[in-house]
Amino acid sequence: MLAPGGRLVMATWEGSDPRWAWEREVRMPFAAKIDPSRLQELLGGLTMLARFDTAEKVEQELSTAGFDAETVDTHAIDFTFGSEDDWWELNWSHGARVFLEALPEEDRSEFRRAAYERMQQNREGDGFPRRYTALFSRSV
């Protein structure tokens, strides 16, 4: 709730680094191993996140809610995972963990193996570079 004349400030993440598109491909076969009702919940969450994954979508959502976006700025963060395990640990520290938690334990191990195999295509030198892009918006 905003006071009259107040400003709404929000930060979201832009869509994934295209070099890492394989993550979705690896996840898809494992989705069938998740309890169907839990899978529906997960898909609903992804749909919500996708509403804000580009500057244009953020502006549209804010406009629909009655706000005028003063700015939507992007800020890229280049990061390099030192190992496959570093990537795995990061997945347990944010929203991706709900997918991992929903997988039966034996399937989680198989998913991890498949992901480690596919992520080799991203190896550069001693690590796995990835770009994360934040979207910062300010509205009235």
**pTM for the model:** 0.81
Q: Which residue has the higher pLDDT, 51 or 109?
A: 109
Neighbours of 133 (CB within 10 A): 18
Task: Report yes or no: 20 and 130 within 8 Å, Cβ to Cβ.
Answer: yes
Confidence band for 94, pLDDT divided at 50, 70 and 90: confident
Lookup: tokens for 24 = 């979705």
In which band, very low, low, confident or very high, does the pLDDT at 3 lie, cut at 50, 70 and 90? confident
Residues 96-111 have pLDDT tens digits of 888 999 999 999 999 9
